[in-house]
Amino acid sequence: MRAARLIKMVLLLQSRPAMTGAELARELEVSERTVTRDAQALSEAGVPVYAERGRAGGYRLVGGYRTGLTGLARSEAEALFLSGVPGALREMGLEDAASAARLKVSAALLPSLRDAPKAAAQRFHLDAPAWFREPETPGALAVLAEAVWDDRCVRARYRRGEGEVERELEPYGLVLKAGVWYLCARVCGSFRTYRIDRFVGVEELKDRFVRDEDFDLPGFWGEQAERFARSILRAEVVVRLSEAGLRALPHAVDPVAARDALAAAGEPDARGWVTLTLRVESEDVAHSQLTGLGAEAEVVSPESLRRRFAEEAGRLAELYRRA
């Protein structure tokens, strides 16, 4: 415990010109008295820690004591500190490891690049969860993350329908999509995707699996996501759209459905409106999505959905006439 703390203290002092006892105590989560004792221990071990007394005093390293890491340009250093997703690392139980790694890199950077972490943090921030939902960390995530890193098989129980299913999985990778965690795993020779919040229990096994080096996690996830999106689009709606409606369509409906519909659309009519066939999950979902386009969209078929929009428009007109 103390050895790790002493190393962290050296790295902190390498990354900054000087630090007060209070700052070091806060970073190391110890008392200032412990900081004084640790500084003395480092000095006796040959690490040139110099303590300055007084209001402007503090601790610093002398004699250019630092770890050399050369060859990083400013843009490369800033990009390095953008590579982590703090919330995701915390949920996977890797926050301490990532923090230590960033600290080591900060300590080793040339003085002219020391502000790279701050510059990156001030300009970019990734907030993964979707709006209007409280992010929850699945209980099985930390165990699965460890198994993914270690190429170790797991025995998992997960909810499917009204019951539970148990499988032995080879966990290949984790994906965070709109605040929801997914596991990509191989089972019975094929790759599948599981929502981690549906896992009831996960047990890490002793056996390791041989990873397929040709497996491409981003490519696999992209194919699975598009296949899933297409699989739930079981109904069709014919709709006329104005120019404004065409621009707004990808933001109102499923992006895959919008892309397919726009690619197959015909030429605009004399008013500039375009008629296209849109795949939707259901008439109820289509009604909810297309309502957002207002008067920039006209449902042509099915007749039941067109009638529903007409009746709703009549109720709205009557409501606003009374107002």
Structure-block tokens of residue 72: 């990083």
For residue 132, report the phi and psi dihedrals to the nearest 5 degrees: 60, 35
CB contact at 8 A, 81 and 116: yes
Please tell me the predicted confidence (pLDDT) of residue 63: 72
pTM confidence score: 0.55
Angstrom distance (rounded) from CA 159 to CA 164: 5
Structure-block tokens of residue 282: 């259901």
Please tell me the predicted confidence (pLDDT) of residue 17: 78
**Among 261, 252, 256, 262, residue whose Cα is nearest residue 289:** 252
In angstroms, how far is CA 105 from the centroid of its own chain? 23
For residue 169, report the phi and psi dihedrals to the nearest 5 degrees: -120, 150
User: What's the mean pLDDT when you consider all of the chain?
Assistant: 83
What angle, rounded to 10 degrees, do the helices at 255-263 and 217-231 form? 80
Q: 50 exposed, middle or buried (CB, 10 Å; 0-12, 13-18, 19+)?
A: middle
Please tell me the predicted confidence (pLDDT) of residue 70: 46
Q: Name the pLDDT band for 69 (thresholds 50, 70, 90).
A: very low
Please tell me the predicted confidence (pLDDT) of residue 240: 95
Angstrom distance (rounded) from CA 290 to CA 275: 14
